[in-house]
A and B are shown apart, each in its own frame.
Chain A
Amino acid sequence: MATLTHQESVTAEYLEVTPGTRKNFMLIIVAGVVLLAIGIIMSMMGIGAAHHEGAAAAHGAAHGAAEHHGSAPWLKRLIVSLWHNNVFFTGVAAIGTVFVAIQYVAYAGWSVLIKRVAEALSAWLIPGLVIMIVVFGISYFTHDIFHWTLPGIMEKGNANYDEIIAGKSGFLNLPFYIARMVIFLGLWAFFTKRLRDLSLAEDLNGGTEYFHKSINVSALFLVIFAVSSPIAAWDWVMSIDTHWFSTMFGWYIFASWWVSGLAAITLCTILLKQAGYLQWVKEGHLHDLGKFMFGFSIFWTYVWFSQFMLIWYANLPEESVYFNQRLGGFDGQYTWMFFGNLLINFVFPFLVLMTRDAKRQMIMMKIVSIAILVGHWSDFYLAIMPGTMKAGNGFVIEIGVALIFLGAFLTLMTNRLAQASLVPVHHPFLDESVHHTT
């Protein structure tokens, strides 16, 4: 029953990360390491994935002498899946700050109680930046991820020369690429820290000054993120298929990150609530998060379909090669994932979250948010693997690396959650959030 007066007083609440929880995170990492080791051994013995030579031959038809062989299959798979997981997890981390910033700019009150969860999500940004530079640095010399990093590919007369890629040398060159990577992630991390500092200072001192400052910082960040995130998507994902291009791609990757970030915030909120924290978070907040996930699952599908239909209808060879590879290429290696991607990321959330009751039940929301996270991890898999691994992809190493990332991500996230009160006690809209009903 909603009333316009309030009796309860909201007090600070601190998360205690128990040794048991830490041990669970360690177990996730250990499980990942074990899977990774098994995967590497399997790959060395030549089981679990199609052999690399066949894949290279299939691709070689297009490039002839320019084809390169790269590292041993297991090493290549390891490097590629480090890249894949880091792009996914770093994107999800950035969404934490994007979410907070959007709530500030929109003067939203309902989300105040889950603000700290979104803030904590961004703890991965700095490690994400470091891992990204390291993995890119390695791949620059092994040429395992980006075809355009081959030496001489942009020099006329070189055996590796590729006219189309040479035409992109103004954008895809080492100094500019690294500069973009560092500047984008650096800016995202800077604004994350700035918003977090303002938020913590507000906890200590109160007053509305921090709120107004946060709005300015958020607005600036959103403009910067809107420009940098599509460019990051071209750099980190689209430039793998160097010949191919799509004007929808920036939005497509953003939509994927955004809906996974929302699912991560929802899942974390539910897990905290089930552990006895966040007592003020009610069905109404869950309902709004559910609407967000429902709506942006549809948004992702909309962008996906806009990209697909134009390419399918125009049927230009240089564009449709991307979907040829994924729909039936490499002996139909990716076909099941291609359709599974639509099922898990569109049909499932759409049908399950359709009703109001489903959005207000923790169990339903938990199932859907896990499905969305798995689904969009697979979406990135589908965007990255055909261009790098060709037919030589697999799952054991990839899931192993994903588990290591997950464990590390959760450790950092819970650390940051435990650093401050779960309730931003002096946020001007706190009362509105406590009394939020939908």
Chain B
Amino acid sequence: MTKRFALGIFDDEDVLLHAVENVREAGVKIYEVFTPFPIHGMDDALGIERSRLPIAAFFFGLTGLCFALWLQIYTLGFDWPMIIGGKPHIALPAFIPVSFELTVLFCCHGMVITFYTISKLYPRWKTPVLDVRSTDDKFVVAIEVNENTDMTKLTQLLRDNGASEVNQKEMSKF
């Protein structure tokens, strides 16, 4: 589906931060802000809620822990029991390092994959970028617009808040 965006280009992150606050106060919904580096306080200014990624991380970790315990208890305890150092077949203290490592492994891989998927950062033929300068020295505020939007008013609002230019761009598969 094709979406149309108004792009406010900013030169300074301090100006940008206040602009974001003011634009949101004026009742305009901001689609996303693209910056070359993380800006302190931007999440608060955009009103982004805390990520639910930790919840996913917990379940990935739990999966890893269960897998590790199953693997060790089944292989060493039932499938092919061996006597190692006179310890019982299911020697839990000896299982802790492997259980820990697999928990971490499942947890971090699961988190990275989940994060890339929900942020649409997975490999694609053509990566949609609204303005390539947002990876260099410009800060881009993207606002989704449609045919009912009053573009002159929006442009004025962005310019009043310090935007150096205001562009429009259509993007498919965004």
Interface residues, chain A, with chain B CB atoms under 8 Å away: 1-5, 305, 308-309, 312-315, 356, 437
Residues of B within 8 A of A315 (CB): 85-86
Chain B residues, CB < 8 A from A2: 40-41, 44
State whether A309 touches B96 (Cβ < 8 A). yes
**Residue numbers in B under 8 Å from A5 (CB-CB):** 14
- CB contacts (< 8 Å) of B41 on chain A: these are 1-4, 437
**Distance from A349 Cβ to chain B, minimum over Cβ atoms (Å):** 17
Assess whether B94 is interfacial by the CB under 8 Å rule.
Answer: yes
Write 22 A-B pairs (CB below 8 A) sorted by A numbering: A1-B41, A2-B40, A2-B44, A3-B17, A3-B41, A4-B14, A4-B17, A4-B40, A4-B41, A308-B93, A309-B93, A309-B94, A309-B96, A312-B93, A313-B85, A313-B87, A313-B93, A314-B85, A315-B85, A315-B86, A356-B50, A437-B41
Q: How many angstroms from the CA of A3 to the CA of B44 in the assembled complex? A: 10
List the A side residues contacting B85 at CB < 8 Å: 313-315
Residues of chain B with a CB closer than 8 A to A437's CB: 40-41
- The interface residues of chain A lying within 8 Å CB-to-CB of B93 are 308-309, 312-313
Q: Nearest Cβ in chain A — how far from B82, in angstroms?
A: 15
Chain A residues with CB under 8 Å of B17's CB are 3-4
CA gap between A4 and B85 in the complex, in Å: 61
The winner among B41, B44, B96 for most chain A CB atoms within 10 A is B41
A228 to chain B, nearest CB (A): 31
B65 → chain A, closest Cβ, in Å? 14
The 7 A-B residue pairs with the shortest CB-CB distance, nearest first, are: A2-B41, A4-B14, A309-B93, A312-B93, A2-B40, A1-B44, A313-B85
Distance in Å: Cβ of A65 to nearest Cβ of chain B:
34
Shortest Cβ gap from A22 to chain B (Å): 43
What is the bound-complex CA distance between A437 and B39, given in angstroms?
Answer: 12
CB distance from B95 to the nearest CB of A (A): 10
**B93-120 contact mask (Cβ, 8 Å, vs A): 1 or 0:** 1101100000000000000000000000
Whole-angstrom distance between the alpha carbons of A360 and B85 in the complex?
Answer: 47
Distance between Cα atoms of A309 and B85 in the complex (Å): 13
Minimum CB–CB distance for A309 against chain B, Å: 6
B44 nearest in chain A by CB position: A1
Closest residue of chain B to A356 (Cβ to Cβ) is: B50
Given A4-B40, A313-B85, A437-B40, 15 more A-B residue pairs with CB atoms under 8 Å apart are: A1-B44, A2-B44, A3-B17, A3-B41, A4-B17, A308-B93, A309-B93, A309-B96, A309-B97, A313-B87, A313-B93, A314-B85, A315-B86, A356-B50, A437-B41
Interfacial residues of chain B within 68-101, with CB under 8 A of chain A in the complex: 85-87, 93-94, 96-97
Q: What is the CA–CA distance of A228 and B96 in the complex, to the nearest angstrom?
A: 32
Write out the residue numbers on chain A whose beta carbons fall within 8 Å of the beta carbon of B86.
315
CB distance from A341 to the nearest CB of B (A): 16
Minimum CB–CB distance from B113 to chain A (whole Å) comes to 23
Nearest chain A residue, comparing its CB with the CB of B13: A4
Distance to closest chain A CB from B96 (angstroms): 7
Q: Tell me the bound Cα distance from A2 to B42 in angstroms.
A: 9
Closest A residue to B87 by beta carbon equals: A313
| Residues of chain B with a CB closer than 8 A to A305's CB | 96
A4 CA to B93 CA, complexed, in Å:
50
A437 to B94, CA, bound (A): 41
Residues of A near B44 (CB, < 8 A) are 1-2
- By beta carbon, the residue of chain A nearest B50 is A356
Considering the complex, give the chain A residue whose CB is closest to the CB of B86: A315
Kindly state the separation between the CA atoms of A210 and B75 in the bound complex, as whole angstroms: 62
Q: How distant is the Cα of A312 from the Cα of B87 in the complex, in angstroms?
A: 10
B164 CB, min distance to chain A CBs, angstroms: 19
Complex: A313 Cα to B44 Cα, angstroms:
51
When distances are taken between beta carbons in the complex, the residues of chain B under 8 Å from A356 are 50
Which residues of the other chain, A, contact B14 by a CB distance below 8 angstroms? 4-5
Bound together, the chains give a CA A88 to CA B94 distance in angstroms of 31
A4 to chain B: closest residue by CB: B14
What residue in chain B is nearest A309 (Cβ atoms)? B93
In the assembled complex, the CB of B37 is this many whole angstroms from the nearest CB of chain A, namely 14
Q: Which of B15-60 contact A (CB under 8 A)?
A: 17, 40-41, 44, 50
A314 to B85, CA, bound (A): 8
- Shortest beta-carbon distance, A320 to chain B, in Å? 12
What is the CB-to-nearest-CB distance from B93 to chain A, in angstroms, rounded to a whole number?
6
Do B40 and A313 have beta carbons less than 8 Å apart?
A: no
A1 to B25: give the CA distance in the assembly, Å: 15
Chain A residue at minimal CB-CB distance from B84:
A313
Q: B residues within 8 A CB of A309?
A: 93-94, 96-97
